[in-house]
């Protein structure tokens, strides 16, 4: 990314550095409940659609990628997370499990044709950030 693209948003950079859970939830019990339900629903939908456990998975707008590290890496062979926040990606990579790959990219400027083929793509908590 260019220097201008990598400036990021101070809130998300700080949240990425300390973890999105503590930044977004006042209680670890609430965080666990909300994330657990959302993440389980995502896995249930992927299973219903026939997502292969030996598949290559994309987590687009992965943030600190607690989802990929705690859930996706236990269900799929290869997981790749993309997010704009460099701090979030650094945290995700430091906590990576199994075959997980994280990259900081500008999701608006990204040439999506350059990405490999994925068996499953998860977009959790990202669409409401898009402005156009």
CA separation for the pair 51, 55 (Å, rounded): 7
Which helix (H) or strand (E) segment is 11 a member of?
helix 10-18
* pLDDT tens column, 81-100: 999 888 889 888 988 877 89
Domains of the chain: 5-126 (3.40.50.150)
* 10-residue stretch averages of pLDDT, the chain, 132 residues long: 50 64 64 77 95 95 86 94 89 86 90 95 79 62
* pLDDT tens column, 116-126: 999 999 998 77
The dihedral region occupied by 19, where left means phi > 0, alpha psi between -120 and 50, and beta the remainder, is left
Predicted structure pTM score: 0.75
CA separation for the pair 27, 33 (Å, rounded): 10
CA 45 to chain centre: 17
CA separation for the pair 73, 78 (Å, rounded): 7
């Amino acid at each position: 990314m260019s220097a201008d693209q990598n400036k990021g948003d101070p809130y998300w950079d700080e949240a990425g550095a300390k973890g999105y859970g503590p930044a977004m939830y006042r209680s670890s019990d609430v965080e666990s409940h909300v994330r657990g339900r959302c993440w389980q629903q995502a896995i249930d939908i992927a299973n219903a659609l026939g997502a292969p456990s030996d598949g290559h998975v994309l987590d687009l707008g992965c943030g600190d990628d607690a989802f990929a590290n705690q859930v996706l890496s236990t269900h799929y062979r290869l997981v790749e997370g993309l997010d704009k926040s460099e701090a979030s990606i650094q945290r995700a990579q430091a906590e990576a499990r199994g075959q997980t790959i994280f990259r900081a990219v500008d999701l608006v400027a990204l040439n999506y044709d350059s990405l490999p083929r994925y068996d499953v793509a998860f977009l959790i908590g990202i669409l409401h950030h898009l402005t156009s």
